[in-house]
Amino acid sequence: MPGRSRCAEIAGGNPEGELVELLGRGGFSDVGVRCVSPLYSCGMPANQKVVAQFGAAADYWDKYRKFIQVMYKPVTDALVADADVQQGHLVLDVATGPGEPALSIIDLIGPTGEIVGVDAAPAMVEVAKREAARRRVANAHFEAAPADKLPFDAQTFDSVICRFGAMFFPSPVDSLREVLRVLKPAARMALAVWSVLERNPFQYVVSDVVGKHVPLRDDDALRAFRFSEQGKLLAILNEAGGFDASERLVSFQIHAALPPDDFWDMRSHMSLTLRKALERAEPAQIEIIKREVLEALQPYSGNNGISIPAEVLLVSCSKR
């Protein structure tokens, strides 16, 4: 209804950019947002809070890099296949974090290819740059940039991948339009997001225990599964202008060659939801939580570490 004006309050899990976008599509004008969530202070936009929190975990993602690379290799392989990444390609990795999966596909694209990773968290980008320098990788480059404001010319990249980043886009439609802008005609992009919680014991085995002792914020807990429902991200990708968009489920085993204690350390620091919950816990509570998590992990523990089922949703498209 053109000309109508409303003010929206966020009281739960929708990032404000997404809610403003939805109201705009409904015909509202002069949309305003007032933050009332306990997670986000009104002095800092929600997306900036998330960026800062991921940046604070950058060193832990770096510490467990080699394990994360193996854990998520099936997802990386699926992204590479669906984005049709080839030797010699110029590839964009959106929400690259500490440089993954960007640095994992260097051998695939070869010396004539190039990988560019972007992330909204500068601390993550610095970790990625440091790792590329340590490996002496000359054809990997990293920049701090949000997905909706990419510092590249139109029609630059041969393929685009994004692993577990789309659910954190403040405005998914705007971000995907921007990614499509920098993609070459007929080239492909692929995004991986978590499937439903019930099929991801990797997520719920730990979070269920923590949630018994320290209530998990609804907006935290739901964000990782923001696009777990089939068809949701696919519809947004179509709205953004994707061509021949499709989705598929990928079930796999997450293998982490870590003893349970180290697996707990990794999960409790990598996860934004768990980290924030544990910050509210007393030291004695944390010890109890850790003991119960280690017990819950026993069915998935073996001589070679942790092996636990997981499922992701792969959504991909071409550019016209």
Q: Per residue in 108-142, pLDDT tens?
A: 999 999 999 999 999 999 999 999 999 999 999 99
Q: What is the mean pLDDT of residues 132-156?
A: 97
Shared domain for 83 and 10, answered yes or no, is no
CB 257 within 8 Å of CB 304? yes
Distance of alpha carbon 316 from alpha carbon 312, whole angstroms: 13
Shared domain for 44 and 54, answered yes or no, is no
Q: What is the mean pLDDT of residues 37-54?
A: 55
Shared domain for 90 and 10, answered yes or no, is no
Shared domain for 236 and 126, answered yes or no, is yes
Question: Tokens 């018994």 belong to which residue?
Answer: 212
pLDDT of residue 307: 97
pLDDT of residue 45: 52
CB 242 within 8 Å of CB 83? no
CB 319 within 8 Å of CB 187? yes
Half-sphere exposure of residue 142: CA atoms within 13 angstroms, side-chain side? 25
Range in 143-157, 204-218, 285-299 the model is least confident about: 204-218
Report angle CA 28, 34, 36 to the nearest 5 degrees: 135
Shared domain for 108 and 156, answered yes or no, is yes
Examine the pLDDT at 46 and tell me if it is beyond 50.
yes
Distance of alpha carbon 49 from alpha carbon 289, whole angstroms: 26
Shared domain for 9 and 138, answered yes or no, is no
- Phi, psi dihedral angles at 101 (to 5 degrees): -90, 10
Shared domain for 44 and 97, answered yes or no, is no
Shared domain for 29 and 168, answered yes or no, is no
pLDDT of residue 55: 85
Residue span of the structural domain in which 24 resides: 5-49
Burial-class residue 283 by CB neighbours within 10 Å (0-12, 13-18, 19+): exposed
Q: What is the mean pLDDT of residues 173-200?
A: 97
Averaged confidence pLDDT in the chain: 86
Q: What is the mean pLDDT of residues 8-36?
A: 42
pLDDT of residue 224: 87
Please count the structural domains in the chain.
Answer: 2
Shared domain for 157 and 222, answered yes or no, is yes
Q: What is the largest CA-CA distance in the chain?
A: 65
Examine the pLDDT at 27 and tell me if it is beyond 90.
no
Closest CA to 204 of 78, 300, 287: 300
Q: What is the mean pLDDT of residues 249-264?
A: 96
Shared domain for 204 and 289, answered yes or no, is yes
- Whether the full predicted model's pTM is greater than 0.75, yes or no, is yes
pLDDT of residue 30: 53
* Predicted confidence (pLDDT) per residue in 194-235, tens digit: 999 999 999 999 999 999 999 887 565 458 899 999 999 999
CATH code (residue 217): 3.40.50.150
Shared domain for 214 and 266, answered yes or no, is yes
Examine the pLDDT at 22 and tell me if it is beyond 50.
no
- Is 223 strand, coil or helix? helix
Examine the pLDDT at 193 and tell me if it is beyond 90.
yes
Shared domain for 56 and 103, answered yes or no, is yes
| CA dist 244 → 9, 75, 175, 184 (Å) | 36, 21, 18, 15
Going by the DSSP 8-state scheme, the letter that residue 214 receives in this structure is S
Distance of alpha carbon 95 from alpha carbon 92, whole angstroms: 10
